[in-house]
Amino acid sequence: MDVKTALAKRKSTRAFLNKEVPITTVNAILEQAKTAPSGVNTQPWKVAVLSGQSKKDLEQKMESEFRAGNKGTMDYQYYPEQWEAEYKQRRKACGLLMYSTLQIKREDKQRQLDQWAANYRAFDAPIMLLFFIDKIMEKGSYVDYGMFLQSIMLSAVEHGLATCPQAALAEYPEIVKKELGYEDQVLICGMALGYEDTTKDVNNYRTGREDLDKLVRYFS
């Protein structure tokens, strides 16, 4: 598969088949992804791979906290505190597209809550990946991490798998680190990994992208 095809096929998948992903396949993806560049070759990534009972135990704890109304606090500020108009508009359009696809109405708070709770189960994918970084690392290493994450997602496409990168899986870092033993690390995000369920409506929409003339300026 060429890069153009992999980039086009990659999407945030939110419904997965109940089909096991061999750990050998997960390792093959991570082996490819670890070739991503990093400043002075620091390779700041640390990855926890969860499946089976360990995944069930952790996701139950996170979902229980969410359903109890206990909002988690990430280890770092992911989104801006004040949204400027262009980003606010894209954020709103993204949410409306998903809820309209699922026919979840604004007043149906229970279905909205249930849909969001699925985040903490990694959308029932067989594999949950969690990504950590040493506290001493600075913003440059977070840039490096983005390249590593994209490499995982593109490699997954080549292996016939689907992914969803998830900030939500980092919303309860105390629970995650206590459960897995990463107390001295920053929890960056998580990722669902598995085989896409193509019959589910939630997987059958795509968010748009801006035209280049809104994003790029040319100088010569």
Q: Is residue 212 part of a domain?
A: no
Q: Is residue 152 part of a domain?
A: yes
Query: What number is the average pLDDT over the span 197-207?
Result: 95
Q: Is the torsion defined by CA of 29, 32, 37, 41 positive or negative? A: positive
Cβ burial, residue 208 (10 Å; 0-12/13-18/19+): exposed
Q: Per the structure, how many domains does the chain have?
A: 1
Q: What is the pLDDT of residue 166?
A: 98
Q: What is the pLDDT of residue 106?
A: 86
Q: Is residue 147 part of a domain?
A: yes
Give me the CATH number covering residue 158: 3.40.109.10
> What global pTM score does this model have?
0.96
Q: What is the tens place of the pLDDT at every residue in 82-132?
A: 999 999 999 999 999 999 999 999 889 999 999 999 999 999 999 999 999
72 pLDDT more than 90: yes
Q: Is residue 214 part of a domain?
A: no
Q: Is residue 217 part of a domain?
A: no
Distance CA 189, CA 175 (A): 14
Q: Is residue 87 part of a domain?
A: no
Residue range(s) defining the domain that contains residue 146? 3-77+120-204
Query: What number is the average pLDDT over the span 194-203?
Result: 97
Q: Is residue 10 part of a domain?
A: yes
Q: Is residue 49 part of a domain?
A: yes
